[in-house]
């Protein structure tokens, strides 16, 4: 694995993308930085000046990985690409809604936590936290963890659409306007959803995908959370319950959950979600 990480880091450096070595998660949990309770295991830089020292010099990259052979690969954003960092099904639904219903044909990575990194052409804008609910923007002055780095969950970052198969997507007008606009409202302020039924369908697809990718030890909890979220949409009349059950059951089978456990969890989550309710400003 160490040789693969070095090879990937060198390949990116030779393509002109500044690289930086990141700490690696420990097999039993935690981070090899040695700090108890590290809040970003496998995600923060080894380098003293962090992102400032990111480099495209192959010799420097070789020296870094000779010193830290298990280091995860970090890529500086804002140079060759900006990245939409999507960390939840709601974020995926919100991004799809902004883009008109689907993701662009562009490099797409699946993160170790079950999120997504969508690559866009550089915009010149900096980082934005909560650009959309569940979506952060990594631009000038930011970085992302690149496949095949390891996440604290034990899962590797993987390519869904590899950079060799697609270029970073052009930033469409609605997204460009959002990036150029003021900071998003503080957490907790309602966000209006213009097309609730489209949102509900995107949420169903995103929740099912999240369940299918859940790692052992988190699968039942992930299924329960997904059923709860979709139950709210069922209760609002935006989603057919039978469709939600079928999609969740199919995703649960892909993840390896048993049939009886799956039925119980879906029933419980949907019931609880229906009782909670949903509104256009959810």
What pLDDT score was predicted for residue 149? Answer: 97
What pLDDT score was predicted for residue 157? Answer: 97
Has residue 145 been placed in a domain?
no
Contact 207, 89 (CB under 8 A): yes
Residue 242 has pLDDT above 60, yes or no: yes
| Residue that is last in its domain, among 33, 60, 76 | 76
Contact 72, 149 (CB under 8 A): yes
Residue 223 has pLDDT above 80, yes or no: yes
Residue 84 has pLDDT above 90, yes or no: yes
Answer yes or no: do 67 and 91 share one domain: no
Residue 225 has pLDDT above 60, yes or no: yes
Residue 192 has pLDDT above 70, yes or no: no
Tens of pLDDT, residues 159-187 = 999 999 999 999 998 899 888 876 554 54
Answer yes or no: do 69 and 85 share one domain: no
Q: What is the Cα–Cα distance from 32 to 43, expressed in whole angstroms? A: 11
Answer yes or no: do 177 and 231 share one domain: no
Q: What is the Cα–Cα distance from 249 to 243, expressed in whole angstroms? A: 10
Q: How many domains are contained in the chain? A: 3
Question: Residue range 55-62: average pLDDT?
Answer: 97
Answer yes or no: do 52 and 121 share one domain: no
Residue 104 structural domain: 81-139+153-188
In DSSP notation, 157-223 reads PEEEE-GGG-PPBP--HHHHHHHHSPPPPPTTS----S-HHHHHHHHHHHHHHHHHTPPTTTHHHHH
What pLDDT score was predicted for residue 215? Answer: 65
Answer yes or no: do 41 and 98 share one domain: no
What pLDDT score was predicted for residue 17? Answer: 96
Cα 238 to Cα 100, 195, 204, 243: the distances in Å are 19, 10, 11, 11
Pairing of β 135-138 and β 128-132: antiparallel
Has residue 148 been placed in a domain?
no
Q: What is the Cα–Cα distance from 8 to 127, expressed in whole angstroms? A: 24
What pLDDT score was predicted for residue 277? Answer: 58
Answer yes or no: do 44 and 93 share one domain: no
Has residue 147 been placed in a domain?
no
Exposed e or buried b for every residue in 32-69, given b needs 16+ CB within 10 A?
Answer: bbeeeebeebbbbbbbeeebeebbbeeeebeebbeebe
Answer yes or no: do 183 and 201 share one domain: no
Has residue 85 been placed in a domain?
yes
Has residue 144 been placed in a domain?
no
Answer yes or no: do 184 and 87 share one domain: yes
């Amino acid at each position: 694995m160490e040789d693969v990480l070095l090879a990937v880091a060198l390949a990116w450096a030779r393509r002109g993308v500044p690289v930086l070595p990141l700490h690696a998660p420990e097999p039993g949990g935690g981070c090899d930085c040695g700090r108890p309770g590290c809040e970003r295991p496998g995600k923060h830089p080894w380098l003293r000046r962090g992102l400032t020292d990111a480099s495209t010099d192959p010799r420097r990259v070789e020296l870094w990985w000779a010193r830290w052979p298990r280091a995860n690969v970090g890529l500086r954003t804002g140079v060759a690409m900006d990245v939409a960092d999507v960390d939840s099904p709601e974020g995926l639904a919100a991004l799809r809604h902004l883009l008109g219903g689907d993701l662009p044909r562009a490099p797409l990575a699946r993160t170790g936590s079950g999120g997504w990194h969508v690559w866009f052409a550089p915009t010149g804008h900096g980082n934005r936290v909560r650009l959309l609910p569940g979506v952060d923007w990594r631009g000038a002055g930011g970085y992302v963890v690149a496949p095949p780095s390891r996440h604290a969950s034990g899962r590797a970052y993987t390519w869904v659409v590899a950079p060799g198969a697609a270029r970073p997507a052009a930033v469409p007008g609605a997204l460009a306007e959002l990036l150029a606009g003021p900071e998003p409202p503080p957490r907790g302020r309602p966000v209006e959803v213009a097309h609730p039924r489209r949102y509900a369908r995107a949420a169903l697809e995103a929740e099912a995908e999240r369940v299918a990718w859940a790692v052992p030890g988190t699968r039942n909890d992930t299924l329960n959370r997904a059923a709860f979220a979709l139950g709210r949409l069922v209760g609002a009349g935006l989603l057919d319950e039978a469709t939600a059950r079928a999609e969740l059951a199919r995703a649960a089978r892909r993840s390896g959950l048993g049939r009886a456990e799956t039925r119980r969890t879906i029933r419980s989550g949907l019931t609880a979600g229906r009782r909670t309710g949903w509104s256009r400003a959810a």
